[in-house]
Amino acid sequence: MQRFGTSSIPTFHIGRSLLQNNWEEAIDLIMKPRSGDRQDLQTARQHWIENHDAKKALELFPKKCIAETYILNYFTKTGQIKDYAGAFATIPRNLRLMYVHAYQSYVWNSIVSERIRIYGCDVPVVGDLIIIDEDPGANINSDDIIDDSVIVNTDDKKEIKVKILAEEDLKNYSIFDVVLPLPGYSVVYPNNIIFEKYKKLMWKDRLDPREMRRSNKDFSLSGSYRKIMGKPSDLSWKFFKYDDSNVSLALTDLDLLDGKSEPESLPDGKNLALRINLSLAASSYATIVLRELMKTTEKIEDKELALT
């Protein structure tokens, strides 16, 4: 699964508003109070919501709140507190892109869950997609932005060629070859019920997976592909017991440079830990593996995945 933020106001909600051309809602979602904020942030957000005093709110917001600071700075300089599109355009480009790419990630995560729920995660099925041109120029794992590792098939990159699997193709491929697209105007969608799941999920948001061009080039999403399953390399694990929950159980890079020794397992330790070492391909995450090991949940949004 791809990551796209854990705030009480998910990043992809802002991206959804932008793709809907709802600039006012996008700005409101960025600026409004949210649970879990520190007191100084709560004060700053509440002041803006109650007073719409951009100058004072700008003084209250910590400088690390980049999007909020740029928005308020624009409002303060221009006095146009209803020019939502103008204010949003001042946010640094990487951060602007993060919002719409987070929506792509949300859709991709949801659809992968549906693909596995319907067809399992053992073998390819008719209508699945596989990459047939893995030329480095196509580079399906190249990231256009720093944060969410979303793959982007921009116009200046070589087009990625995919094949829709027929019955006679299935014996030639494994589940590790199967890809799903991040929604965009230049991707091919699976030729099975999974495409209907894309449409149902995005139509609920008043969006069309086939109509992702926008007049604003930053939000005109061509899309690309990501493999739904990955194999780790250099995998190893170790159980060990310990007592003190405040003691680090793994060495950082700095610890290694300092020549520190790995923590020793205590034969009679009251707590049991599992340490896993593995290497992953670019833009791959161990989120689901860790979730299954720890038997926790990865909530995208309550009831968002009820697509049947």
Tell which wins on pLDDT, 147 or 263: 263
User: Which of 21-25, 32-36, 217-221 is the most confident on average?
Assistant: 21-25
- Mean pLDDT, rounded, for 295-308: 49
User: Could you give the CA distance from residue 5 to residue 304 in angstroms, rounded to a whole number?
Assistant: 16
What length does the chain have? Answer: 308
pLDDT at 225 > cutoff 70? yes
Residue % of the chain over a pLDDT of 70 = 85
- Strands 224-227 and 178-182 turn out to be antiparallel
For the chain, helix (H) and strand (E) counts, in that order, are: 10, 6
Mean pLDDT of the chain: 86
Residue 140 confidence (pLDDT)? 54
User: Could you tell me the residue ranges of all domains in the chain?
Assistant: 11-91, 120-227, 233-279
pLDDT at 303 > cutoff 50? no
User: Could you give the CA distance from residue 146 to residue 150 in angstroms, rounded to a whole number?
Assistant: 9
- Mean pLDDT, rounded, for 8-27: 96
pLDDT at 233 > cutoff 60? yes
- 163-172, 185-194, 276-285: segment of lowest average pLDDT: 276-285
DSSP letter assigned to residue 144: S
**Cβ atoms < 10 Å from Cβ of 98:** 24
The torsion defined by the Cα of 113, 115, 116 and 122, in degrees rounded to 10, comes to -150
Please, which pLDDT band fits residue 80 given cuts at 50, 70 and 90? very high
Residue 281 confidence (pLDDT)? 82
CATH number of 11-91: 1.10.1510.30
> What Cα–Cα distance (Å) separates residue 275 from each residue in 5, 121, 230, 249, 282?
25, 26, 20, 8, 22
pTM of the model: 0.81
Residue 204 confidence (pLDDT)? 97
Asked whether the beta carbons of 229 and 254 are under 8 A apart, the reply is no
pLDDT at 240 > cutoff 90? no
- Mean pLDDT, rounded, for 14-38: 95
Residue 192 confidence (pLDDT)? 97
